[in-house]
Amino acid sequence: RKRCIKITTGAKTFDAILGGGVESGSITEAYGEFRTGKTQLSHTLAVTCQLGFDQGGGQGKCIYLDTEGNFRPERIEKIADRFGLDADATLDNIIVARAYASDQQCELLKPLAALIAEHGPFRMLIIDSIIALFRVDYSGRGELSERQQKLGQHLSALTRLAEDMNIAVFLVNQCTADPGAMSLFAPVVKPVGGNVLAHASCTRIHLKKGRENCRVAKVVDSPSMPEAEAQFAITDGGIAD
Ligand code: ADP
């Protein structure tokens, strides 16, 4: 097993509940409601993975697999500025791949794996988001098991890529209200993707809105860390304390 590298989220308390940051060599999943910071965290990681090891980085490039048109180069420029990186060079180190259908999303992994092998080092593969296209393409009655089967194959290819290349695979996920759980204070939500995604994700993070502009990250599943929460902020320079 290769040495695991921890990539900073941009926020110290958030890193702390992750045991240092987002790990290379496995899949980390972040789920949460609309506007909780999933895409902003993705953009921040696309930059911080390029930092030196002594700065909480991974000294590697990033692939951003965008399934919803969320990627914004101007956000990357601002985040690069904050970390003292050259904006153009930082953008050049982020390979953006756009998928419009779930089968295209799956098929992209082959050329991307070749790119990683030949034009590395890469340290981060972000999929924003992992399941949105599957939910559209397999929305009919009776299509759920086929969807889960395809998703499972996709996720095992991602696990293999993470392990073989010592890359941090970071997945953005959606969530739904959990009808089985009740709370007086807030809707109880759960990530979509069922057992297939739950098993593939090594680390799961729930992102929530806190007071005012504050956000809360909760580690809900980790191989080495307890359940814990951390507050963070979304700033012009990305995720911060
Ligand atoms: P999600 O992907 O979970 O739907 P986002 O990651 O897109 O959510 O986060 C959206 C939030 O980020 C919004 O509340 C927005 O105000 C905030 N945001 C976006 N850009 C900036 C910025 N440049 N400075 C501060 N906050 C920002």
CA 71 to ligand 1 center in whole angstroms: 12
The CB density around residue 213, as the number of other CB atoms within 10 Å, is 9
Q: What is the pLDDT of residues 152-179, one digit of tens each?
A: 999 999 999 999 999 999 999 999 887 7
CA-nearest residue, atom 8 of ligand 1: 35
CB 171 within 8 A of CB 124: no
CA 38 to ligand 1 center in whole angstroms: 8
Q: What is the pLDDT of residues 47-95, one digit of tens each?
A: 999 999 999 999 999 999 999 999 999 999 999 999 999 999 999 999 9
> What is the C-alpha separation between 148 and 185, in angstroms, rounded?
32
Ligand 1: residue of 40, 127, 209 to mutate (most ligand atoms within 8 A of CB) is 40
Predicted confidence (pLDDT) at residue 3 exceeds the cutoff of 90: no
Q: What's the chain's average pLDDT?
A: 95
∠ CA 71-76-77, rounded to 5°: 135
Residues 6+ apart with CB under 8 A from 193: 130, 131, 151, 173
